[in-house]
Amino acid sequence: MQTKQAQAYDVLRRARGLQPSEGFFEDWNFDFMVEARNVYGKELYYPASDRAKIFLKLTGKKTFDKYELKIIQDVGYNVIFTTKTMEDL
């Protein structure tokens, strides 16, 4: 008996036309980039990639909070924090 996660992967494989033996996540990118900024003493997390912007549309907000980032990480995305360099200033 398969787990629910394995069953979901099988459904997605079939939807993409892949055989069970073929790699499923080889071309998928699970990176989720955010930029941490300190604004008036409060840590805010702004989207730094297209995928992060799409997720942010679900919330209807302009920034993420720590709880939302934790959920995104729990789902299986790699939450990557970017920083600004001197060249970006």
Q: DSSP per residue over 35-59, as a string? A: EEEEETTEEEEEE-SHHHHHHHHHH
In a domain, 16, yes or no: no
In a domain, 12, yes or no: no
Dihedral sign of CA atoms 52, 54, 56, 59 in order: negative
Residue 10 and residue 26: Cα distance in Å, rounded? Answer: 15
Question: Per the structure, how many domains does the chain have?
Answer: 1
In this predicted structure, what is the pLDDT of residue 83?
Answer: 73
In a domain, 5, yes or no: no
In this predicted structure, what is the pLDDT of residue 49?
Answer: 86
In this predicted structure, what is the pLDDT of residue 54?
Answer: 87
Q: Tell me which residue range forms the domain holding 27.
A: 23-88
In this predicted structure, what is the pLDDT of residue 67?
Answer: 92
In this predicted structure, what is the pLDDT of residue 89?
Answer: 53
In this predicted structure, what is the pLDDT of residue 14?
Answer: 67
Residue 49 and residue 21: Cα distance in Å, rounded? Answer: 31
In this predicted structure, what is the pLDDT of residue 29?
Answer: 65
For the chain, residues with pLDDT lower than 50 are 24
In a domain, 31, yes or no: yes
